[in-house]
Chains A and B, each alone.
Chain A
Amino acid sequence: MNTVKLIASSNADSASEWLIITFIQKSLRYLHRYGVVLPYLLLGLTLGFVLAAFWCIWSILIAAFLLVAWGLERQLYVELQEVKFAYLQQVAANEHLQQQITQQSDNGLAELLSTLCQQIELARGDANNAVTGLTADFQFIYDALDHSIHLANNASAQFGQNDAGFAKDSKVELANVIKALNAALASKSELVQSVNYVSETATELMTQTASIQKISKEINLLSLNASIEAARAGAAGRGFAVVAERVRELSDITAEAANLIIQRMHTLMSAVGASSTKLSASQQQDQHILIEAEQKISAVLEQMNGVNQQLNDNVHALEQNAATVQQKVATALMQFQFQDRVSQKLGHTADALGQIQLLLGSEQALNKNQITAISEQLYASYTMKEERDSHQGAASNTTHVENEITFF
């Protein structure tokens, strides 16, 4: 900045100023040599011819005038000398400075500026690439999370439905199975009842058969008595004896038949009894199995419910976690907008540097106007309030929150 100011002051008097000063210098030099004698000679001749009468007065006046004029001339001369000296000094300093500037220029200021611009562009590019890549990555993460949440929701919904549906279905199905088993058991118990009824009937029949036996025995006795009566009756009882004998035979046959029936009945009863016992045992076993099955089924259902509940809980937790992470990622994504701001700021700076470089390349030195022009252009290119504040020297406050939205 100092260098630039020096260049500006030394450039204040440019070529035209230089010519004027030289001319004045030369004029003064001639005036000094001839200017004083010639006018006095002409004036004296003229006055000698025209104003002889007033010669004394005029001579006194002229003498006084000459005196004053000479004094003034001397004074002016001295001053001019001083100005000239100062100017020469300034010129010398200027030349020195210009030499310095040229030297500096030659030393690679322009190149430096160019390099700086390139570096800034490079940085912009890097930042841009990096942030673009990061944003893409984050978007991928965000999308993946979104997908996860979706999946979790689906799973949760399915589980929720299945919890009601699947478990309910299972319950209904298993209840049906138990119902069917119960029905089978009921039919079995009907069978047992039937068998028992058969057994009872057989017992009854046996009792009746026993009474038949008893009757046949009585008839046997009766027939024997009849035979005895007939025998005692002698020849008259002969016919009756035959009848009595026949009755006795019949009673014997009846008794035999009854005996046979009772024997068969015994076989039947033992078979029926065995069946009934087996059936009862099997019924009891079935009942036992049924109860066990019911217990097991309800245990399994309970376990299933528990697992479902846990799964649901886990899915909900997963959902919540994913949602939280997604929010965080969204916030992080918002922070990536700084790249846009940084890029713009760097762009503005690089533009200004580029212009300076351009001017430095074409001219020997930059004057103050040019600098101002560049500065103003830079200011005009700003888009952010913080940029303007910073340019004007105000404390840069990056956290400054501007009124974000304006509706028209």
Chain B
Amino acid sequence: MNKTILVVDDSASIRQVSKLVLTAKGFEVITAEDGQDALAKLDGKKIHLIISDLNMPKMDGLSLLRKVKELPAYKFTPFVMLTTESGESFMAQGKAAGAKAWMVKPFQPDNLLNVVQKLVP
């Protein structure tokens, strides 16, 4: 069975590009527009990896990360921040909240795949 990845980003282009890159390598991709949407789409599904933007309307990436870490089913699901934000303080917050990696946009598709393959063996 294919591994499933949840991509959360308020930018449609980022969602599409991510989906394209990942589906090309055989991953199942679910997309969400913001944190709330993402929580709604988790819905007990088996998710192998969550990739989220930081700045999003309604619920930002860090809040989503913290919420996800509170959910028993997704507590150990690897979480990757994919954001234009490269500030040290944000990264520190992400690290503290339990993110596995921090990727700065724009990303090279190969790099995204490297990260995904490292976290979802």
Contact = CB atoms under 8 A, between A and B. Distances in A.
Q: Is there a direct interface between A and B, measured as CB atoms under 8 Å apart in the complex? A: yes
A166 to B, nearest CB: 32
A287 interface: no
If over half of A's interface residues share one DSSP class (helix, strand or loop), that class is named, otherwise mixed; here it is: helix
Residue with the greatest number of chain A CB neighbours at <10 A, chosen from B13, B91, B95, B102:
B13
Nearest to B92: A408
B83 to A, nearest CB: 7
B12 A334 contact: no
Interface in B83-121: 83-87, 91, 94-95, 99-109, 111, 114-115, 118
Interface in A128-164: 128, 131-132, 135-136, 139, 142, 146
B62 to A, nearest CB: 12
Contacts of B19: 139
Interface string A339-352: 11101100000000
A54 interface: no
Interface in A370-408: 383-385, 402-408
B111 A405 contact: yes
Contact of A403 (B85, B100, B104, B114): B104
Query: In which size bucket is the chain B interface?
Result: 35 or more
B109 A406 contact: no
Contacts of A337: 13-14, 17, 105-107
Given A135-B16, A337-B105, A146 B91 contact: no
Contacts of A136: 16
Interface in A308-343: 330, 333-341, 343
A408 to B, nearest CB: 4
B13 A135 contact: yes
A351 to B, nearest CB: 12
Given A135-B12, A383-B83, A408 B105 contact: no
Nearest to B53: A340
Contact of A405 (B95, B101, B106): B101
A339 to B, nearest CB: 5
B17 A135 contact: yes
B36 interface: no
Contact of A340 (B14, B102, B103): B14
Nearest to A341: B84
Contacts of B13: 128, 131-132, 135, 336-337, 339-340
B12 A408 contact: no
A406 B101 contact: yes
B20 interface: yes
Nearest to A329: B20
Given A139-B16, A384-B85, A384-B86, A404 B11 contact: no
B82 to A, nearest CB: 10
28 contacts: A131-B12, A135-B17, A136-B16, A142-B20, A142-B24, A333-B16, A333-B21, A334-B106, A337-B105, A339-B11, A340-B106, A341-B84, A341-B106, A344-B55, A383-B87, A384-B84, A404-B103, A405-B102, A405-B104, A405-B114, A405-B115, A406-B91, A406-B103, A407-B100, A407-B101, A407-B118, A408-B101, A408-B102
Given A132-B16, A139-B19, A407-B100, 5 more contacts: A128-B13, A135-B13, A335-B106, A341-B84, A406-B91
Q: What 8 pairs between A and B have smallest CB-CB spacing?
A: A337-B106, A340-B11, A383-B85, A132-B12, A406-B102, A135-B16, A408-B95, A131-B13
